[in-house]
Chain A
Amino acid sequence: MSDVRPWRSGSTDVVPASAQTPAEIAAYARQLTPREQRQVVSAFEDGNYELGAGFLWSRGMSALKKRLEALGSDFIGEMLDRPDIGPSESLVRSLTDYDAVRLAEELGMFTPTQSMRLRNAMEVVSHFSEPPTEGDDDESREMLAEEALGVFRACVQASLGQEELSSALEFAEFRNRLESEQLQADDSQVEMLAGSSDFFVSTTVRVLMALAKTSEGGRLDHALGNINIILPAVWSRLTDPDRWLVGRTYAELHASGKRTRISALRRALLRVNGFDYVPEDLRSRSFIEAARRVEDVHNAMDNFYNEPAAIRELASLGTVVPIPALPQVMTAVLSVRMGNRYGISWDAQPAADAILSGITKDRWRYYIDECLARDAGILAKFRHSQPRQRWVDEVVERYAVSEVEPKSAFGRQVLKASVSNRQQRLEDLMTRAYYMSVGSS
């Protein structure tokens, strides 16, 4: 095993820059039938951009999720910390578009630029799928040709122009080894893992925790043994959220009385002095699930309409957020608060405000120091001026985040740029952090 990109993207653009018209781009859409290609081109030529872009996005995401299924649906579930996604689960049905894009990006299926274009496309399609609001002028809500063309190109580049996957991927193979082989502490694979990228280390730990919960028989024995080898080797590299994941796994196994698994994980936690990251109860689970639902609706169609109910449910759990759940809760509530480049869900703001008003300075410091630099979803928002400005006005200023004194250099830089409203500086800082968080240098 080596620390290679799990997916060799090749990085050559499927759609060359010279392809400018719908017909020229359609020629590269291998996964569209000839009839579909003609229909899409016809929609564009007739000015039905919303219809054409919507169809392309839907087909593109289905194709992308199918490619991810090659890794194994249960593996995808482990990476996303979603125990509801089992080995026979259809990712087309159970994976949100946002998670599919994020995951594909982290796995190196796209270059950072391709990923940025795909996210833009996602926002465009999502915005124009929203029903018009009162007072919205129908003319001003028309999708422009260049916006539709951007969606077309991004979808073909990301998935519709890609061939079917035929080779096994190194990451999926590594995952299989974790439950089929017993590694040793001086194993070169373990040593290489300890020096691998943060994403790879984090994902390995996620896989091991999932295997501790779901494997059986001999595979379970290997997984438990490997936890006691790998966790001490990488513990110092893990962020707090990942350490809390390990602790939460112990708590969940303890609650379900699975003694052999508890015993192995307990040994590992003792070796790394990791019991500080074991929650005393599982209240955090409710917060994490509710936060996940907020994120899902925020990144899906009709998000402005659906966000209020989801964020109110999260707020109803209480304003004292357990530390193990803080990263996910902050991502969810900041997503709602900052919105996207098209605006915010106004009806969702009171509940978001209630949650953020309850975040203490210590918790803000924890989030800025330990979580923000890896929060890809929030970091990506800083590319657009509206969410970026809302961060300054509706988050930093409103909740006096400037009074927090971060310990990390990154945290201090972010707050300094925010307080002085240096928009370009903020964008640069966050963009760089974003690419690092998804494993790009």
Chain B
Amino acid sequence: MAATILEAEGVECEETTRCLAELIVSLSDYREEGAVLFPVVIVTDDLSFTKRLLQSWMSIRLGKGNRSGWTIREALKRTAPLTIGNTWFVYLQRGPDGFEYGVLASPSSPVASSPSETIHGIESGPLALLFRRIGDRAVEAVGLRRRTVIHLSAVDHEEGAPIEALEPLCRVASRQCEADIRDDFSNFLAQVLDDILQRGHGALIAVVAPESDMPPLLQKADGRADGIQLEEAIDVAAIYSMTRGAEALGQPEAGFQLASLLQLVEGMLSADGILLLDSVGRICGFNLFANQPGSTTDAEIIGGARRRAFEAMKHAVTNGDMLAAYMRSSDGASAVYVPKVGHYE
């Protein structure tokens, strides 16, 4: 898989190929001082072009080395701890003598396109490859022409890039948003969730119709929500729209509000249970649990419980209690259940 994408991106140098293979292996389970880290690494032949393309306002060079696995490991060791919080990325600039490495700032605006979206959006240009861990021993590679997931476990995986499962979910979650932001908000939400879930341990997300009752699946016996139902839904779409407008007028302060809100979403997703959205782009609840007949206890294997909950959510979608259901497992595998013109994907 790795060779396929490198070939598609025109990487013919054997040394580079070996270095990138080392990078992929390192990223699949990268730890420093025992802590798991999730650095996003951008490999490029032209740092200046990449900075302008991604709208990265600053780069800091930290070292260089020849085209070898040692350089890659050294680069990660020096740069990965600086990227906690995901406001900085690692860069590796390939040159005739080897690799120069350092860190790149992420775009200032929280509504800006993500690096993976931007890189995959152009079909030609200098080499630009993005690598990031998306699950247990799973690394996503994004190039100008292809994006793919490389699994380093023995398990047979067939699914594509994680974002491909998020996109239908987010289309449903933005279905009733204002027309002028609908498509962009859908893409934005998918990117945000993709970024957050990369660092998580798995997740369940459901979408319901606005102002609808809590689905029976998520209720206790007494009819109350089995988890946290927000008294007032958080209108992410509205804050996104306001931020976009403010950015266009040169008032970037609104971006702080959105960035702050996204941190909250990350916290909600790190909690067990289901994150509940509605189709106007609002968060309605989190830490919600599926009320399944013969439901499991805490002693059950987490993965199994998540899968069973997802199956129950699919039934809720079929019954019309929910509009869409999504699951991401700890190994990065993901699945989505969305009605499509009377059929199911």
Taking Cβ atoms with an 8 Å cutoff, the residues of A that contact B are: 83, 213, 216, 247, 251-252, 254-260, 262-263, 266-267, 270, 275-276, 278-282, 285-286, 289
Contact = CB atoms under 8 A, between A and B. Distances in A.
Contacts of A216: 180
A421 to B, nearest CB: 42
Contacts of A255: 55, 107-109, 111-112, 247, 252
B184 A275 contact: no
Contacts of A263: 121
A281 B247 CA distance: 12
Given A257-B184, A280-B56, 20 more contacts: A252-B248, A254-B107, A254-B112, A255-B112, A257-B113, A257-B188, A257-B247, A259-B113, A259-B117, A260-B183, A260-B184, A262-B118, A266-B53, A266-B121, A270-B124, A276-B48, A280-B51, A280-B55, A280-B57, A281-B108
Interface string B96-127: 00000000000111011100011001101100
A285 B249 CA distance: 10
A275 B52 CA distance: 7
A83 B249 CA distance: 9
A256 B248 contact: yes
A94 B125 CA distance: 42
Contacts, number: 81
Interface of B: 48-49, 51-53, 55-58, 107-109, 111-113, 117-118, 121-122, 124-125, 180, 183-184, 187-188, 244-245, 247-250, 252
Contacts of A262: 113, 118, 121
Contacts of A289: 250
A213 B248 contact: yes
For B52, B111, B121, B247, the residue with the greatest tally of chain A CB atoms inside 10 Å of its CB is B52
11 contacts: A254-B55, A256-B248, A257-B109, A260-B183, A263-B121, A266-B53, A270-B124, A276-B52, A280-B51, A281-B108, A286-B250
A270 B113 contact: no
A279 B188 CA distance: 23
B52 A278 contact: yes
A257 B117 CA distance: 11
B188 A281 contact: no
Given A256-B244, A257-B109, A279 B183 contact: no
Nearest to A271: B124
Contacts of A83: 248-249
A132 to B, nearest CB: 39
Contacts of A267: 122
A251 B248 CA distance: 10
A275 B118 CA distance: 14
Please provide the 8 A-B residue pairs with the shortest distance between their CB atoms, ordered closest to farther: A257-B111, A281-B57, A278-B52, A255-B109, A256-B247, A256-B248, A255-B247, A254-B55
A280 B52 contact: yes
Contact of B125 (A247, A251, A270, A278): A270
Contacts of B107: 254-255
A285 B248 CA distance: 11
B187 to A, nearest CB: 6
B57 A258 contact: no
Contacts of B113: 254, 257, 259, 262
